[in-house]
Structure 1
């Protein structure tokens, strides 16, 4: 998974969609915006904190909880079992809502154990973080849709929520006249498969989260909230160019329940965590 993610980081896709999502000053719109993200919905995707977790997993969780975070998305266990992570979450009063599990595990013999681990963590969703590069064709995405439906059925039968898929920029490409991401949206069973939308990668790839939420209602229970720097790189939430207030205006239609902060390469993970939490806690949309 990490190799795939690192490969994506070097990809420079068109900036037109990102420019269209540019963020005006929040204050100018504050008067007419009343909704807020519920405190229970503000979480941290732990990939952001991987350097600190590798040194002190429990201490990192405790610092996130002290900032106000309520939930986490697990991405890498750093040598800990699912049971050990659950104990640390319970001790720090955080709740895991999902875990990223590789495509080959989800589509192979490892799925039953992966589902059991989701239960152990106390989470609701198993998430496929990316597809192998060789599958980035319409035929490959149709095969992924077929496999996701099978795994989503297994997840439901085990008492979990639907299988989720996490996007990157290339997933929104049009190949041979077909939008790859739309293949997954249209050819998976909404009762079995949903999506963890990374809003940065959606914008980078030319998609509009606002439109996705409306056109595909209740398919997006979780988000990766990641901001875009003016040069197209990563930024702390609230310090970049994405208009989150406008973007989240249709989040209710999309069924969003979790807003998980993510930054792929933070200089100071705890500063990023604090800045991003403050933005989301104060945001009105």
Structure 2
């Protein structure tokens, strides 16, 4: 990484606004000495450590119930559903109940959430036992300030329907959401022009850091209570994906302000694990032992 990227990563994983910023990030995830002294008081509750099932898509396709059983044995408490692999919501719920896992959310396409399929999608999330319906990405045709303002309007409408059904609408970010276009941060448009009572965010901390404009710890402070769920994904030194705790992102510094952000679920994700179960074990081990 060049010096500009290193400087950004330091800001992206620093402590809350108004405290001393972390200016470098150890390659192995180790915190700088200046930050280490203020950590160790808090931990992620076991009930808050989950797995986003996109990570496990290959073993799920071969053995859905067996994969869930292994995740439960590792110690995961919750899952985010992303792809049903031919199973109905009711069937997935039974498999989850059997191994005492809880689905907290499902990813549902933008076209469904903004179209006539929304009522059925909300019913399916209820069947799964979730509390959040999550839009995972946006069509490329909307990648402009005007497009994101239209998205914000659609999210407010769908968010109202979700609230009336007892759920909440969230949006999951990717790197492009953090671009600045015509002097405006696209992600800021969504944050500023959606109703906090109707729309929240499932923050993917890897993409927020890599995107270049949104430091996760600062977002929690600037927009309190808007991030009930996280995708906890680490970054290798070359910018690729990494098992949580093995890369360069400073999670203790990032999580210092998680309470202000309203975080309730820390969902592990790795987009391309060489061995999904080994990745799941390593990431759970790190998060279960983490103190910040």
Any residues of structure 2 matched to 1:180-199 within 5 Å, and which? 180-199=186-205
After superposition, give the CA deviation of every residue in 1:34-83 in whole Å (9 maximum; x if it has no partner): 10000000000000000000000000000000011000000000000000
Structure 2 residue matching 1:15: 3-state secondary structure:
helix
User: What is the CA deviation profile of residues 99-134 of structure 1, one whole-angstrom value per residue up to 9, with x for unaligned ones?
Assistant: 000000000011000000000000000000000011
2:234 to 207, 224, 227: 227
Moved over 6 A (4+): none
The equivalent residue for 2:9 is 18
State the match for 2:150 in structure 1.
Answer: 143
Distance in 2 (CA, whole Å) between partners of 1:88 and 1:270 is 18
Is residue 2:117 matched to residue 1:110? yes
1:76 aligns with 2:83: yes
| TM-score, normalization by structure 2 | 0.90
Aligned: 1:175 with 2:166: no
Cα distance in 2 between the residues matched to 1:229 and 1:96: 29
SS class of match (1:73): strand
Q: Secondary structure at the match of 2:134?
A: strand
State the match for 1:45 in structure 2: 52
Deviation at 1:27, TM superposition (A): 9.4
| 1:137–1:60 distance in 2 versus 1, CA, 3 Å | same
Are the equivalent residues in 1 in contact too, given 2:179–2:211 (CA < 8 A)? yes
Cα distance 1:32–1:245, how it changes in 2: closer, same or farther (>3 A)? closer
> Equivalent residue of 1:165, what SS?
strand
The CA deviation string for residues 150-200 of structure 1, in whole angstroms up to 9 with x for no partner, is 11100010111x200000011000101110000000000000000000000
Shift of 1:15: 3.2
* Alpha carbons of structure 1 residues 47 and 30: separation in structure 2 relative to 1, 3 Å: farther
Distance 1:169 1:32 in 2: 29
- Conservation of the 8 A alpha-carbon contact between 1:30 and 1:284: no
Of 252, 267, 270, which residue of structure 1 is paired with 2:274?
267
Distance 1:35 1:103, change over 3 A: same
- Whether the aligned pair in 2 keeps the contact of 1:43 and 1:71 (CA below 8 Å) is yes
- 1:7 alignment counterpart: none
CA apart distance, 1:239: 0.2
Q: CA deviation at 1:87?
A: 0.3
1:26 Cα deviation from its structure 2 partner:
4.9
Per the normalisation by structure 1, the TM-score is: 0.92
Q: Distance in 1 between matches of 2:143 and 2:265?
A: 27
Correspondence for 2:21: none
Task: Please state if 1:210 is matched with 2:200.
Answer: no
- Structure 1: give runs of 5+ residues left out of the alignment: 1-13
Q: RMSD between aligned alpha carbons?
A: 1.4
Aligned residue pairs, count: 271
Instruction: Measure how far apart 1:32 and its partner are.
Output: 3.7
